[in-house]
Amino acid sequence: MHIINGMNFSKKVNLLVNLIGQPKRKTIILTEHKEYVEDIFLNTHPILFNIEIKTLKEFEHELLFSHQCYNRQIVSECELTYLVRHYLKEDYHYLRYSDNPYSLIGKLITTLKEIHDYDVDLHTFSKDQLIINKCEDIAKLNEKITAHLGKDFFFNLEEATIDLIDDQLKDTDFYIFADEYITAMQRRFIQSLSPYTKAILLSFEDGLQEENLLKDFYEGEYLTLKDESAHIKNLSLHLFDNVKVEKQEKANLIIGGHPLQECMKVACDIKKKIHDGAHYKDFLIITLSKDYEDYLSYIFEMWNIPTSLPEVNDFHYSYDYKAIMEALDKSKGTTFKEHVSSLLKLPLTSLKDYISSLSFDDEISNEEMKLFIEATLPESKETVPSHDCIHFSTFKDSHTQCPYIYVMGINESHVPAEMSDQGLLLDEDYQTLPVHPLSLNKQLSYHHVEIIKTLTQPSHFTFSYAKMDMSGKEMMPSTLMKRLDSLYHLHLVKPDLNLIKTHLYLNHSYIPSSPINEMINEYKDNQPVKIDKEYINALGKGMSISRLETYNKCPFQYFIKYGLKINKKSDDQLLPTELGSLCHYIMEKAIDDPDQLVFYAHEYIDEHFKEKYETSALNQYFVDQLIDNMRVNVQIVREQLEHSEFNNTSREQEVKGYLGDIPVQGFIDRVDQYKDYVRIIDYKSGKKELNLSYAMQGFNIQMLAYLYLLIKEKNLKAGAVLYFNMKKRMLKDKIKFNKDIDEHLLYKDYQMKGYVIDEGSFEVIHASDEDSIPAKLKKDGKSPTKSSKLISQKELDIVMDHIIDYINTLYKQLRSGDISIRPTITDNGSDPSIYPCTFCDYKSVCLYDVFVNKNKEISSQLEKEVLKGEDNA
């Protein structure tokens, strides 16, 4: 084989045109950018005589046809879903069938396709028992499905056609854009062409890693295509590093307040260019976001401007789908066939053939039949062919001769895209196998190559990003955007939004002098949403600190969770709360008796989640790892107490009392005492910091409240409020395998977080092991270090006064029935633990509307303002 490397995709295709000329032999060019390559050839060839430009799939289908292999088929998603469901009910180490198995089935299908695309051998693996169980289960499932399908069904076209490559191709020359075909089976297919024909591969030298991504697959003579353009060389070699380069080219920049406004600005910029004489076909928009496509599609449709976006008809809105779902509620069938027989009596049109294809023999309930249909019924897409239209694309399919290219949504985690595991086997699982799919790092490298190939096109570029998302949360421009700023002379464009006749309005998108402003302001200023007085008691008369913090985060979330008592449906997986309770129990029992730690752990497991533990290999793995880690936690806590003059006086200490008018009751994990000083410790399964600014505004107040009640009840002095993080430390493994590492590093890594309360005598610090608390003294022993988390009793009293005033006001608001959708956000957006929407279980019923709902913003600097003000007073 001959391999031509080149950084400039456009130049490489033009070189191919000159290389081929007017061929006398049959010539086939395999590329996924068929139209682009075809257009460049037609610029110099009036007719493509003896030249065929095809996609790999088209060529493979022609192979099947030429060898009359009409029985060979690719297994459908619907058939695969049924087969996975069918065999999932057998006995496995790791896989478990549940009432709704379709999330698991989706991951299994992805995994099965991966192992076929990359010809992965699941029978050779590492010593890790969890990976062994997963691989054995998936291998068993794959063998069952493959045997069921028989010799005429395949997972991909390469499997179905690779044995059809023979002497029939000996008089054909192939030119293949090999870097477009990245799966192992695609590359094996390309390799198999070599013995029968002259094959020239065109690859892309990525410059992102020392070893070219193709050299592992193809052997032959390499010829590197030299590029003369310094700009293209900079893009190819330095787009994803920090090497200083000279700016060579110009480009435009558009910044939106949020994604919708970004789309509005891009649309207006394009419309102005069209008004000035450009054609629709002169524009290509690259976006990785479905939301961006929807926003732009709406705007362009409003202007009657054609686009290449297909019209997607969601099956949820079709008559057939609604009729099927209603009929299944009444169906008396117990198998697929019986349900299908009943459904075919309906006057179905668009979904009749699909329903007929579901005539399987397995038993299935009415409810699961609905879930099966949801999982296998695809959206229908209708594309209206139009050559003169605005084209939409991803980076992978972006090669075009359009003069103007817009790259949108260049924000962190959006562009470049984040690579993540989609199947049941994770990236680290695959790395233990001798043959495996591309790692996440290599997938990212290919994605970077696609971006570079896009930017090397001879077009004028406009880049855009948004400052915040649709909920008002800050979004950062990606590192790619910052690098583009150093590679291009960027001109900030501010399109005229008045070009949009129907205003698309959201926060931060005001168009000056528009009468709609007053209407929106009036709509936003409505009174808080309140429930009727007769239902107020459903919100709860008593009040725990954690409940009040939930209300503080979002009143509506509190209403759903504690008023309506709606909770997320649990499955067989152990919940974080269950694992956290196990950790607390071990810590409580094993501090005095560490040798019995495993006994205490299994004592708790047997009482609280024995079935979950015994029936799930995954749960066993996590719990066993947790127990192993708790040995270290218990050892560290014992050493911290041994090196301290504080003595542990109680565990699970109950406290109760009043914070203003609010009755409060709770339990402190551990109480230590030295003379009259008391410190309280809370065990956490992750990192926990005490932020006094947020505490004065009702967040993370539990431990401060408990300390306040404890010293009041016992007539003691406040010494410290501390959090012990029980999460596994990576240093543990380093010490295990490298004896040269000082074990004291591990000890110091378990330093508790929180605050020490001291009036200046530093008795608490002197009585504590400094490596275990977040406060230290300088070498003189007379003053604390800058990093010390230290406050005085007076400052603590001020903080508590603010907390008590704040939560009493909050409690009155709750008791008034206020259940407004009003999520709390910090003024700098830096603390995701405050903002409740990120991981909210109730998003589907919330209907947060930026027209109506505003976030409640809290200050990250309140501590400085309040305590500094008191000092000045």
Reduced 3-state DSSP string for 199-239: EEEEECCCCCCCCCCCCCCCCCEEEEECCCCHHHHHHHHHC
User: The pTM is what?
Assistant: 0.64
* pLDDT at site 645: 94
pLDDT greater than 50 at residue 259: yes
Summarised one tens digit per residue, pLDDT across range 498-557 is 766 555 444 445 555 556 556 555 555 556 788 888 888 888 766 688 889 999 999 999
Summarised one tens digit per residue, pLDDT across range 768-805 is 988 899 999 988 878 899 889 999 999 999 999 999 99
pLDDT greater than 90 at residue 410: yes
pLDDT greater than 70 at residue 702: yes
Q: What is the torsional sign of CA 868, 770, 763, 680?
A: positive
Q: To the nearest 10°, the Cα dihedral for 189, 190, 192, 198?
A: 160
* pLDDT at site 573: 77
Q: What is the torsional sign of CA 724, 727, 731, 733?
A: positive
* pLDDT at site 212: 53
Q: Which of 267, 217, 100 is nearest to 201 (CA)?
A: 217
pLDDT greater than 90 at residue 754: yes
* pLDDT at site 209: 42
Alpha helix segments (H runs only) across 21-153: 34-44, 56-66, 77-88, 102-117, 129-149
The mean-pLDDT minimum among 43-47, 189-193, 521-525, 762-766 falls in 521-525
Summarised one tens digit per residue, pLDDT across range 201-234 is 665 544 444 345 555 566 666 566 565 678 888 8
- Asked if 299 and 525 count as a contact pair (C-beta separation under 8 A), the reply is no
Summarised one tens digit per residue, pLDDT across range 365-389 is 999 999 999 999 877 666 665 678 9
647-659 and 662-674 beta bridge pairing? antiparallel
Please compute the mean of the pLDDT values over residues 706-714 and round it to a whole number: 93
Please compute the mean of the pLDDT values over residues 727-736 and round it to a whole number: 59
* pLDDT at site 283: 96
* pLDDT at site 828: 76
Summarised one tens digit per residue, pLDDT across range 640-654 is 999 999 999 999 999
For residue 416, what are the CA distances in angstroms to 189, 407, 479? 30, 11, 9
Please compute the mean of the pLDDT values over residues 294-315 and round it to a whole number: 86
- Asked if 655 and 665 count as a contact pair (C-beta separation under 8 A), the reply is yes
For 385, the enclosing helix (H) or strand (E) is none
- Asked if 55 and 34 count as a contact pair (C-beta separation under 8 A), the reply is yes
Distant-in-sequence, close-in-space partners of 45: CB < 8 Å, separation ≥ 6:
17, 22, 51
Tell me if domain 2-70+158-228 and domain 249-310+384-499 are identical in fold: yes
Cβ-count burial 558-588 (b if 16+ within 10 Å, e if not): bbbbbbeeeeeeeeeebeeebbbebbbbbbb
pLDDT greater than 80 at residue 429: yes
Give the C-alpha separation, 654 to 76, whole Å.
Answer: 60
Q: Determine the distance from the C-alpha atom of residue 444 to the mean position of all C-alpha atoms in its chain, rounded to a whole number.
A: 15
Summarised one tens digit per residue, pLDDT across range 65-88 is 999 998 999 999 999 999 999 999
For residue 104, what are the CA distances in angstroms to 242, 345, 721, 814, 824? 41, 32, 43, 40, 34
Confidence of residue 393 (pLDDT cuts 50, 70, 90): very high
Give the C-alpha separation, 618 to 134, whole Å.
Answer: 10
Please compute the mean of the pLDDT values over residues 129-138 and round it to a whole number: 88
Residue 702 sits at φ, ψ, to 5 deg, of -55, -50
pLDDT greater than 70 at residue 584: yes
- CATH for 2-70+158-228 is 3.40.50.300
pLDDT greater than 80 at residue 672: yes
Please compute the mean of the pLDDT values over residues 17-22 and round it to a whole number: 84
Tokens representing residue 154 in the block:
């395949």
Please compute the mean of the pLDDT values over residues 401-425 and round it to a whole number: 92
Give the C-alpha separation, 787 to 774, whole Å.
Answer: 8
With tokens 């003294």, the residue in question is 777
Tell me the angle at which helices 366-376 and 336-343 cross, rounded to the nearest 10 degrees.
80
Each as own residue / partner, the long-range contacts of residues 421-424 (CB below 8 Å, 24 or more positions apart, any chain) are 422/107, 422/110, 423/107, 423/108, 423/110, 423/111, 423/114, 424/104, 424/107, 424/108, 424/110, 424/111, 424/134, 424/138
Please compute the mean of the pLDDT values over residues 445-450 and round it to a whole number: 88
pLDDT greater than 90 at residue 711: yes
Return the higher-pLDDT residue of 101 and 212. 101
Does the structural domain 249-310+384-499 have CATH classification 3.40.50.300?
yes
Confidence of residue 16 (pLDDT cuts 50, 70, 90): confident
pLDDT greater than 90 at residue 868: no
* pLDDT at site 541: 64
Residue 73 sits at φ, ψ, to 5 deg, of -135, 155
Q: Which of 600, 488, 552, 640 is nearest to 822 (CA)?
A: 552
Taking the alpha carbons at both ends of the chain, their separation in whole angstroms is 83
For 153, the enclosing helix (H) or strand (E) is strand 153-154
Give the C-alpha separation, 328 to 333, whole Å.
Answer: 9
Domains of the chain, by residue range, sit at: 2-70+158-228, 73-151, 249-310+384-499, 315-382, 527-569+643-873
